Amino acid sequence: MSQDSEYSEGDLRNTGMSLKHDREWDYELDRIVEAVEERDATKVGLQFPEGLKRRGPRVADDIRELVPDDVTVMLSGQPCYGACDLDTFLMKRTDVFVHFGHSPMKNTDKVIYVPLFSNVDVFPIMEESLDELADPEDDPHVGLVTTAQHMNRFEEMKSWLDERGYEVHTRRGDDRLTHEGQVLGCNYASADIDADQVLYVGGGKFHPLGLAMEHPDKNVVIADPVNNVVTVADTEKFLKQRYASVHKAMDAEKWGVIFCTKIGQGRWEQAQEILDDNENAYLITMDEVTPDRLRNFDMDAFVNTGCPRITTDDGPQFHKPMLTPGEYEIAVGNKPLDELSFDTFHGTW
């Protein structure tokens, strides 16, 4: 299952980051220890995204050395793919709850977010990306977006492009996003800028693919400092896969409508609308949406109102077609096929 941590606003596993760069991160232990002291805490919960879970025990050791003996440090064993994916069970049962690897999706005192910024040098790959961007003399306008873990270099990236003659366009997306220029696997609102080309700096192809689907009129150049490659987003293969799934679901009678119970992944109204419209639709609630968990349901097709990446990345692994809510509308004939678009997610919780 892959979702939004590149590890960060998304998913490290997609990018190979954890494997290719064995980096030292700043776990901000001082901030955690300070919170333990201030709150007289006896229970500390730590949550890591999948790509960083193996580091958990060492961080727990370091914290244990710094806090009184009666403090219990717990590691969340739940899967975690994004800032949308807090372990609420652990959060409720601990005095200090720390979520590593993502920037906050919502301001709350209940969670200490430790974003773990990447220390990969982004400029060599940005230099290479200039070959794919228009010459600034022809078109100086370029949008710039990145993922949460490269956010610490965002201003430098802007200046870098600026020094090379570009006029850099950036914006902060909606309240699902913490920073200006930040994108999530389900939200590209920060690329709604006035430029025909966008430079995405970050690992993996999923984010820029979503970006290109959301903004078909823009040339999306991918500068991936993790895998050290520059590419241009190509949506064709992705679109073919999605059309194939929609076609398979067109004859479906019984629909399973998935409502995800993870704190930042639930779209209740969307699920409710489908149910209201289709008497052969059944609401299925779950936290992790996996092929195994759905196998025993006797459905012809599913529509996932939770994390869009489960549908698009892992769709082929489900035993029946798995569609996004927009694709469902096409499969049941409410919308034409050419309205197929990327499933984006707005709001927090």
Cβ nearer to ligand SF4, comparing 185 with 326: 185
- How many Cα atoms sit within 13 Å of 179 on the Cβ side? 22
| CA 98 to mean position of chain CA atoms | 19
Nearest-approach distance from CB 4 to ligand SF4, in angstroms = 2
Pairing, β 229-232 against β 219-224: antiparallel
Kindly list the residues in this chain that would bind ligand SF4 in the complex (CB under 6 A): 3-4, 9-10, 81-82, 84-85, 184-186, 265, 307-309, 345
DSSP assignment of 152-164, as one string? GGHHHHHHHHHHT
Q: Which amino acid is at 254?
A: K
Are 333 and 339 contacting, i.e. CB atoms less than 8 angstroms apart? no
* CB of residue 345 to ligand SF4, shortest distance in Å: 5
CB of 5 to ligand SF4, least distance (A): 7
Helices (H) and strands (E) in the chain, counts: 12, 13
Torsions phi, psi for 184 (to 5 deg): -115, 165
Q: Report yes or no: 9 and 184 within 8 Å, Cβ to Cβ.
A: yes
For residue 237, the SS3 value is helix
Q: Which is nearer to ligand SF4, 166 or 200 (CB)?
A: 200
CB of 162 to ligand SF4, least distance (A): 29
**Distance of closest approach, residue 63 Cβ to ligand SF4, in angstroms:** 26
The C-alpha atoms of residue 214 and residue 119 are separated, in whole angstroms, by 29
In the complex, minimum distance from the CB of residue 259 to ligand SF4, in angstroms, rounded to a whole number: 13
Nearest residue to ligand SF4 on Cβ basis: 4
The set of residues, in sequence order, having a beta carbon less than 8 Å from that of 58 and lying 6+ positions away, is none
Q: Which is nearer to ligand SF4, 3 or 118 (CB)?
A: 3
Our CB check for ligand SF4 shows the closer of 204 and 308 to be 308
Q: Are 193 and 179 in contact (CB under 8 A)?
A: no
Taking the complex as a whole, how short is the minimal distance between the CB of residue 204 and ligand SF4, in angstroms? 12
Nearer to ligand SF4, 235 or 344 (CB): 344
How near is the Cβ of 306 to ligand SF4 at its closest, in Å? 7
Eight-class DSSP state of 205: S
Write down the residue that tokens 């500068």 correspond to: 223
Using the minimum distance from each CB to ligand SF4, give the nearer residue, 66 or 286: 286
Helix (H, G, I), strand (E, B) or coil at 60: helix
Taking the least distance from each CB to ligand SF4, the nearer of 166 and 345 is 345
**Which among 176, 192, 167, 183 is positioned nearest to 222, based on CA atoms?**
183
Q: CB nearer to ligand SF4: give 84 or 195.
A: 84
Q: Give the relative orientation of helices 236-249 and 206-214 as an angle to the nearest 10 degrees.
A: 80
